[in-house]
């Protein structure tokens, strides 16, 4: 099964595929196509969540996580994760594009959300400012390594910020 990047072609290939008769290399391609299509679907949920958030802010709909849970078949935890994913993709549109193309997975986006979750605004802004470097890392790293890298970057930026604050306070 040839590697596809086009979601229509990936969908068609997956519908026609029979993993029960595939050899190892065919299964690898099959798994890659599944992952690419899953990333694309996750990018659609990001867009829907963004629109739902806008409608909710206008008083015309409920919170995105509520709709994801009730209508999207997600658990409350998964709905909150999707909600966080949308916030990261709004701050880093290059990640949303990469997610739609299957270049990164939702796990990569979730790693960023986890790393910045407890950072203050200034440190979060510094983290987000490194978006291009983060995307380069995400496209070459697996999710686990990228998650560790994001946590390390968050700790480093937090420590730098704390040092700067301590120095300013001493002055």
Ranges of the chain whose pLDDT falls below 50: 1-4, 167, 170
3-state secondary structure of 171: coil
Residue-wise pLDDT tens digits, 136-158: 999 999 999 999 999 999 999 99
């Amino acid at each position: 099964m040839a590697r596809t990047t086009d979601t229509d072609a990936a969908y068609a290939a997956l519908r026609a595929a029979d993993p029960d008769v595939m050899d190892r290399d065919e299964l690898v391609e099959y798994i890659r196509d599944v992952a690419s299509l899953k990333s694309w679907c996750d990018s659609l949920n990001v867009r829907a969540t963004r629109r739902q958030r806008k409608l909710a802010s206008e008083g015309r709909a409920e919170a995105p996580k509520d709709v994801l849970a009730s209508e999207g078949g997600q658990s409350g935890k998964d709905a909150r994760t999707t909600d966080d994913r949308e916030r990261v993709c709004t701050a880093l549109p290059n990640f949303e594009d990469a997610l739609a193309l299957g270049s990164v997975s939702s796990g990569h986006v979730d790693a960023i959300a986890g790393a910045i979750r407890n950072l203050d605004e200034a440190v979060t802004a510094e983290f987000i400012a490194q978006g291009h470097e983060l995307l380069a890392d995400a496209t070459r790293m697996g999710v686990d390594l990228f998650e560790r890298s994001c946590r390390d970057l968050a700790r480093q930026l937090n420590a730098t910020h704390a040092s700067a604050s301590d120095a300013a306070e001493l002055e």
